[in-house]
């Protein structure tokens, strides 16, 4: 519930982060993440109508980044159970998939029939020293930034991702957004519950930044904070995308749509997902970068 969705922000350029699979500086953080992903079914979420919006949007922009590249090589850092990595491998791409949680890797391997060109590694987004520089045409962090609590760690993960990417290659970074969490999980509740003896409004700062503890797993971010992180990297931003846009504000309606209506919703979503006046209100965003 709220304890799994509201997250911490430091006030002055410190920790401003988000949601999925790879952060480990302390044993207890690793334990929280492993416990969560050992019981959470991410694939099931992405198969629901509202989850498919995020998935279909991400895949659309992955394909755009890969278009025109002969025999591209791909790495996904924080691959989870392989929703993207396995799909891309089955489409004939060469993929390296890294994840913290061994159960996720085991599930990923169970989806393979042995014909795919994919290697899976249990590893840390903060240290890819076993990967050579300039190795991949496309690098994806579709989860690690969800679980990093300091600016230092976020930059470390981002710099590692950039390092292993070829010059001119693309880096796709997923984030969880602050404002959608405030709107849906604070004001979206008619009678907000109490969490650990505190009122739910104690979970936000005076300027409405979500606050969390490490055991709450996910930390949220704002668009200006993403831009600040990018400013430290040898990259250019191509686009910042709202991967689910308004979908999660009305997820029950989206999940109940028939195929025809869902197709119309996707048409609306694709027509608006690049609008920068709307991006910050999305639950998830995708930062598309190119290495200089």
Element (H, E) at 174: strand 165-176
Conformational region of residue 264, where left means phi above 0, alpha means psi within -120 to 50, and beta covers everything else: alpha
**pTM score of the predicted model:** 0.84
Q: Positive or negative CA dihedral for 217, 44, 176, 3?
A: negative
C-alpha of 289 from chain center: 14
Q: How confident is the model at residue 49 (pLDDT cuts 50, 70, 90)?
A: confident
- With a cut of 90, say whether residue 274 has pLDDT above it: yes
- pLDDT at position 58 is 97
- With a cut of 70, say whether residue 164 has pLDDT above it: yes
Q: Which residues are CB-contacts of 170 (< 8 A; sequence separation ≥ 6)?
A: 65, 137, 138, 139, 238, 288, 289, 290, 291
Q: How far apart are CA 158 and CA 128, in angstroms?
A: 11
Contacts 24+ apart (CB under 8 A), 127-133: 127/160, 128/77, 128/98, 128/160, 128/161, 128/163, 128/164, 131/75, 131/96, 131/164, 132/164, 133/163, 133/164
| Residue 7 contacts residue 212 (beta carbons within 8 Å) | yes
Q: How far apart are CA 292 and CA 170, in angstroms?
A: 10
Give, rounded to a whole angstrom, the gap between the first and last alpha carbons of the chain: 41
Q: How far apart are CA 168 and CA 292, in angstroms?
A: 6
CATH 3.40.50.150 fits 2-291, yes or no: yes
For residue 194, what are the β-bridge partners? 199
Q: How far apart are CA 177 and CA 219, in angstroms?
A: 8
Q: Domain residues of the chain, as ranges?
A: 2-291
Looking at per-residue pLDDT, the higher value among 193 and 49 belongs to 49
For residue 170, what are the β-bridge partners? 138, 290
- With a cut of 80, say whether residue 47 has pLDDT above it: no
In Å, how far are 6, 11, 186, 220, 225 from 213, measured between CA atoms?
A: 9, 15, 17, 12, 19
Q: How far apart are CA 1 and CA 74, in angstroms?
A: 34
- pLDDT at position 201 is 79
Q: How far apart are CA 177 and CA 57, in angstroms?
A: 16
Q: How far apart are CA 159 and CA 46, in angstroms?
A: 28
- pLDDT at position 20 is 33
Looking at per-residue pLDDT, the higher value among 148 and 37 belongs to 148
Mean pLDDT for the stretch of residues 99-114: 94
| Residue 245 contacts residue 60 (beta carbons within 8 Å) | no
């Amino acid at each position: 519930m709220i304890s799994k969705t509201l997250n911490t922000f430091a006030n002055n350029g410190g920790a401003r982060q988000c949601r999925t699979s790879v952060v480990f500086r302390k044993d207890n953080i690793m334990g929280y993440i492993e416990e969560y992903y050992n019981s959470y079914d991410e694939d099931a979420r992405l198969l629901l109508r509202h989850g498919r919006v995020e998935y279909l949007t991400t895949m659309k922009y992955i394909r755009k980044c890969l278009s025109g590249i002969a025999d591209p090589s791909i790495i996904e850092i924080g691959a989870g159970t392989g929703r993207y990595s396995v799909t891309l491998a089955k489409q004939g791409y060469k993929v390296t998939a890294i994840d913290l949680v061994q159960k996720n890797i085991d599930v990923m391997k169970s989806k393979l029939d042995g014909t795919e060109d994919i290697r899976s590694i249990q590893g840390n987004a903060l240290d890819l020293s076993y990967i050579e520089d300039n190795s991949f045409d496309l690098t994806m962090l579709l989860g690690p930034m969800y679980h990093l609590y300091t600016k230092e760690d976020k930059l470390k993960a981002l710099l590692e991702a950039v390092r292993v990417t070829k010059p001119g290659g693309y880096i796709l970074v997923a984030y969880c957004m602050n404002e959608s969490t405030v709107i849906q999980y604070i004001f979206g509740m008619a009678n907000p519950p109490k969490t650990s003896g505190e009122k739910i409004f104690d979970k936000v700062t005076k300027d409405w930044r979500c606050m969390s503890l490490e055991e709450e797993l996910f930390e949220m971010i704002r668009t200006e904070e993403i831009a600040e992180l990018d400013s430290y990297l040898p990259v250019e931003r191509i686009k910042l995308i709202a991967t689910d846009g308004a979908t999660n504000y009305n997820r029950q309606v989206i999940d109940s749509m028939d195929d025809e209506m869902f197709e119309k919703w996707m048409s609306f979503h694709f027509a608006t997902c690049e609008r920068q006046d709307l991006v910050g209100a999305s639950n998830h965003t995708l930062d598309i970068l190119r290495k200089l």
